[in-house]
């Protein structure tokens, strides 16, 4: 609104206007404060925010025109008479329901749907009147300007005090109910609940309200101090929930409930300060700034997701880290064991290769071909897991969280300890790379020759290979490095990473719902299995739920995702290094040794090499990034870490392929 419209804006203040018109006038007034032209902003301290200068100009104009000032004051009196002011303090920044999903939906709606000034809810109207950026100029309001603005626009002292007391009552009842909700109460430390702090705050709030309304100043101060002490006890009880969640599994809804409860206790503290302060203006400014901060936080969908899923991500990655330790080789004994387990995995994948060609030969629709291909992969991966063998491409997403745990953080001080931490991290890098090399080598060196051997035996026994020349030609065209294999290999790395997240989530869900304890002690299960078998089943499921989820989800993702994406016109395929090596072995068995002299064969060999690298690096990179963010780790000296890795590579290049004598560390 232009500067010359200020008079028209003031003249439009009509105390007799309807509710929506009065609220719309206030919205326009706030917009004028933010966007009035600079012609009004000359003079004074150049560091003073423009909105403060505009507010002073507005107040000065009204002081000069008593009739217009009375008109604005009448509008504000009508405003405070019809609005629910307690809702602003009790509801802004808090979810209407204790549910993360409902809060997320509400924030999405607030981002998409427009608000209306036709409301008696001051919390809803506050979102139209103010913006989070207004805190910059509100915090710099000088005391005289603030006093003049409160006198003109603020509610009366009695009305303001009543609204604050009502808000305290509403918030206390919400904290009381939250503290006694089963989701939180059963996870709190019993010692923190001995004095019943959540029951105490209700009585303390009632005493404070009575003392304030009756004008008993000393009693109100004592009741306020007691209420604050009870709130501290409630916060201590709420803080005892987090150790339980970290040990027994995380629920996003419980984390959300917990943060809502703690935020309400802090808001009650602020309201008590406003009610009891001898000079309420300073406390009112602090409360307004807190409300503006809450306004900014409640508008961020991305911030909500990051905030509430960070703990879940940490639990997922830490559980993956426990599994990932088994995939890192530290000495030559573990390295040889990795080769043996990878060889066993390669043998199983060889059978998987022929099963895949059989599924394709049936000629099912795209969905069912993808489904049975995924079931084939999942079955094979589970067999590999149960036999304690390994498939190399599953390792990176599991080892990344374990790597992140040894990474020097930005809080690590420089010096000998920092150097030692960096060297330890380089050791882990070397251990990881050689573990992946051993896994891929063991898989490929067994899978491809075994498929070739079966093709030769089939030709000798039945006169034709199991996989014919037509399928072999398709393999040569699909696996070549000259085609889209690079993109498909990176896409497969993403699926490998997603399967690791599913595995961590499944284990967290299993632990959170205490299914291992249910299997061991549920009366019906014990009656059916017997106590000893129920105990064994409980231990087995607890040890293998993550592996089963990882392998089954990975298999179904590899089979179904390309088929589902094909329905929407995205022709993405998967390129798994071990499966690809088996397919190339089948093609060589079908077309014979002359294929070795064809460039197409060697382009496929190069494509398999690149596939292996991308399968590993993409899945590891994504998992490593999530692990870092979930732990709050940041590299302070990235160049030092990179120099240390390159220095190790120059001094001991073979340590990245073969363990040095005496263990994984290199002197």
Q: Are residues 324 and 266 in the same domain?
A: no
User: Poorest-confidence range of 76-85, 138-147, 288-297, 636-645?
Assistant: 636-645
What number is the average pLDDT over the span 627-651?
Answer: 68
- What does the alpha-carbon distance between residue 112 and residue 521 come to, in Å, rounded to a whole number? 49
What is the per-residue pLDDT for 104? Answer: 74
What is the per-residue pLDDT for 45? Answer: 57
The count of domains in the chain is 2
Q: Are residues 324 and 273 in the same domain?
A: no
What number is the average pLDDT over the span 155-164?
Answer: 90
| 34 occurs within a structural domain | no
What is the per-residue pLDDT for 96? Answer: 63
Q: HSE (CB half, 13 Å, CA atoms) of 497?
A: 22
pLDDT tens for each residue of 402-457: 566 566 555 555 555 567 777 777 887 788 778 888 888 999 999 999 999 999 99
Q: Are residues 222 and 323 in the same domain?
A: no
| HEC per residue, 419-450 | HHHHHHHHHHHHHHHHHHHHHHHHHHHHHHHH
| 15 occurs within a structural domain | no
| 52 occurs within a structural domain | no
Phi, psi of 71 (to 5 degrees): -65, -45
Q: Are residues 222 and 324 in the same domain?
A: no
Q: Are residues 324 and 248 in the same domain?
A: no
| 353 occurs within a structural domain | no
pLDDT band at residue 1 using 50, 70 and 90 as cut-offs: very low
For residue 264, give Cα distances in angstroms to 106, 125, 235, 292, 342.
19, 20, 10, 15, 54
Q: Are residues 475 and 599 in the same domain?
A: yes
Q: Are residues 245 and 323 in the same domain?
A: no
Q: Which of 226, 181, 236 is nearest to 202 (CA)?
A: 226
| 74 occurs within a structural domain | no
3-class DSSP state of 84? strand
Residue 44 has pLDDT above 80, yes or no: no
Task: Find which of 372-381, 565-574, 656-665 is predicted with most confidence, using mean pLDDT.
Answer: 372-381
Residue range(s) defining the domain that contains residue 162:
85-116+156-299
Q: Are residues 284 and 324 in the same domain?
A: no
Dihedral sign, CA of 222, 228, 230, 236? negative
> What is the CATH classification number for the domain harbouring 160?
1.20.140
- What does the alpha-carbon distance between residue 479 and residue 604 come to, in Å, rounded to a whole number? 5
pLDDT tens for each residue of 246-285: 778 777 788 888 888 999 999 999 999 999 988 788 888 9
- What are the residues whose beta carbons fall under 8 Å from the beta carbon of 344, sequence distance 6 or more? 384, 387, 389, 390, 446
Q: Are residues 281 and 320 in the same domain?
A: no
What is the per-residue pLDDT for 312? Answer: 58
Q: DSSP of 373-419, one letter per residue?
A: HHHHHHHHHHHHHHTT---GGGHHHHHHHHHHHTSPPTTSPSSHHHH
What is the per-residue pLDDT for 546? Answer: 85
Residue 41 has pLDDT above 60, yes or no: no
What is the per-residue pLDDT for 371? Answer: 97
| 258 occurs within a structural domain | yes
- What does the alpha-carbon distance between residue 356 and residue 468 come to, in Å, rounded to a whole number? 14
3-class DSSP state of 461? helix
| 150 occurs within a structural domain | no
Residue 392 · residue 442 · CB < 8 Å:
yes
pLDDT band at residue 555 using 50, 70 and 90 as cut-offs: very high
| 387 occurs within a structural domain | no
What is the per-residue pLDDT for 3? Answer: 43
Residue 126 · residue 92 · CB < 8 Å:
yes
What is the per-residue pLDDT for 560? Answer: 96
Residue 570 has pLDDT above 60, yes or no: yes
What number is the average pLDDT over the span 540-555?
Answer: 91
What is the per-residue pLDDT for 414? Answer: 52
Task: Pick the more confident residue, 387 or 325.
Answer: 387
Residue 72 has pLDDT above 70, yes or no: yes
Task: Find which of 45-54, 120-129, 305-314 is predicted with most confidence, using mean pLDDT.
Answer: 120-129
Residue 102 · residue 96 · CB < 8 Å:
yes
Residue 367 · residue 556 · CB < 8 Å:
no
pLDDT tens for each residue of 497-544: 888 878 878 888 898 888 999 999 999 999 999 999 999 999 999 989
Q: Which of 314, 504, 312 is nearest to 405 (CA)?
A: 314
Q: Are residues 558 and 456 in the same domain?
A: yes
Tell me what the pLDDT averaged over the chain comes to. 85
What percent of the chain is modeled with pLDDT above 90? 55
Task: Pick the more confident residue, 575 or 502.
Answer: 575
Q: Are residues 233 and 320 in the same domain?
A: no
pLDDT tens for each residue of 309-365: 555 565 555 555 555 555 667 778 888 888 999 999 999 999 999 999 999 999 999
Residue 458 has pLDDT above 90, yes or no: yes
Residue 40 has pLDDT above 70, yes or no: no
- What are the residues whose beta carbons fall under 8 Å from the beta carbon of 526, sequence distance 6 or more? 520, 534
Q: In 10 A of CB 219, how many CB atoms?
A: 15
Q: Are residues 549 and 622 in the same domain?
A: yes
For residue 22, give Cα distances in angstroms to 26, 77, 82, 152.
7, 11, 11, 15
The separation between the first and the last C-alpha atoms of the chain, rounded to the nearest angstrom, is 72
DSSP structure class, residue 667: -
pLDDT tens for each residue of 75-122: 999 999 999 999 999 999 887 655 666 777 777 777 778 888 999 999
For residue 603, give Cα distances in angstroms to 445, 472, 585.
18, 14, 14
pLDDT tens for each residue of 577-611: 999 999 999 999 999 999 999 999 999 999 999 99
Q: Which class for 340: exposed (0-12), middle (13-18), buried (19 or more C-beta within 10 A)? A: middle
């Amino acid at each position: 609104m232009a500067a010359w419209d200020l008079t028209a804006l003031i003249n439009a203040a009509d105390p007799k206007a309807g509710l929506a018109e009065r609220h719309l006038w206030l919205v326009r007034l706030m917009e004028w404060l933010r966007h009035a032209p600079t012609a009004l902003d000359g003079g004074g301290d150049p560091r003073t925010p423009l909105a403060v200068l505009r507010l002073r100009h507005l107040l000065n104009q009204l002081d000069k025109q008593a009739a217009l000032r009375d008109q604005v004051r009448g509008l504000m009196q009508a405003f405070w008479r019809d609005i629910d002011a307690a809702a602003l303090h009790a509801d802004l920044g808090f979810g209407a329901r204790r549910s993360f999903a409902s809060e997320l939906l509400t924030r999405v709606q607030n981002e998409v749907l427009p608000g209306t000034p036709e409301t008696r809810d001051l919390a809803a109207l506050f979102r139209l009147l103010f913006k989070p950026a207004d805190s910059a100029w509100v915090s710099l309001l000088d005391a005289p300007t603030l006093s003049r603005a409160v006198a003109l626009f603020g509610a009366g002292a009695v009305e303001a005090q009543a609204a604050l007391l009502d808000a305290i009552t509403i918030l206390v009842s919400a904290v009381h109910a939250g503290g006694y909700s089963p989701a939180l109460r059963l996870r709190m430390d019993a010692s923190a609940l001995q004095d019943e702090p959540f029951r105490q705050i209700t009585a303390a709030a009632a005493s404070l309200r009575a003392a304030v309304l009756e004008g008993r100043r000393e009693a109100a101060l004592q009741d306020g101090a007691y209420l604050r002490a009870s709130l501290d006890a409630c916060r201590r009880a709420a803080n005892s929930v987090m150790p339980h969640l970290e040990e027994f599994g995380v629920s996003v809804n419980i984390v959300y409930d917990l943060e809502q409860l703690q935020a309400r206790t802090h808001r009650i503290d602020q309201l008590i300060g406003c009610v009891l302060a001898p000079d309420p203006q300073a406390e009112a400014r602090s409360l307004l700034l807190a409300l503006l901060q809450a306004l900014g936080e409640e508008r961020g969908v991305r911030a909500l997701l990051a905030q509430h899923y960070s703990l879940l991500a940490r639990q997922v990655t830490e559980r993956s880290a426990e599994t990932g330790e088994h995939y890192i080789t530290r000495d030559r004994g573990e390295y040889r064991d990795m080769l043996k387990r990878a060889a066993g995995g390669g043998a199983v994948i060889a059978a998987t290769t022929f099963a895949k060609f059989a599924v394709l030969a049936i000629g099912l629709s795209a969905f069912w071909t993808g489904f049975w291909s995924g079931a084939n992969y999942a079955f094979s991966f589970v067999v590999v897991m149960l036999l304690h063998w390994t498939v190399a491409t599953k390792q990176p997403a599991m080892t990344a969280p374990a790597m992140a745990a040894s990474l020097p953080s930005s809080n690590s001080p420089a010096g000998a300890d920092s150097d030692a931490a960096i060297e330890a991290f380089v050791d882990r890098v070397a251990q990881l790379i050689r573990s992946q090399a051993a896994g891929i080598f063991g898989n490929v060196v067994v899978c491809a020759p075994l498929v070739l051997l079966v093709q030769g035996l089939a030709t000798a026994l039945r006169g034709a290979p199991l996989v014919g020349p037509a399928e072999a030609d398709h393999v040569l065209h699909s696996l070549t490095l000259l085609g889209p294999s690079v993109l498909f290999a990176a896409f497969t790395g993403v699926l490998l990473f997603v399967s690791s997240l599913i595995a961590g989530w499944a284990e967290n869900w299993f632990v959170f719902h205490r299914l291992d304890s249910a299997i061991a002690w549920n009366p019906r299960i014990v009656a059916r299995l017997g106590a000893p078998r129920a105990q064994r089943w409980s231990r087995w499921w607890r040890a293998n739920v993550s592996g089963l989820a990882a392998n089954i989800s990975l298999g179904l993702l590899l089979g179904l995702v390309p088929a589902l994406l094909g329905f929407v016109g995205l022709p993405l395929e998967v390129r798994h290094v071990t499966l690809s090596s088996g397919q190339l072995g089948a093609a060589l068995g079908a077309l014979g040794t002359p294929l070795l002299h064809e460039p197409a064969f060697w382009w496929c060999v190069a494509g398999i090499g690149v596939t292996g690298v991308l399968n590993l690096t993409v899945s590891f990179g994504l998992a490593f990034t999530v692990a870092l963010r979930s732990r709050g780790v940041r590299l302070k000296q990235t160049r030092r870490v990179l120099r240390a890795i390159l220095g190790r590579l120059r001094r001991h290049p073979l340590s990245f392929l073969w363990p040095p004598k005496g263990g994984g560390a290199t002197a």
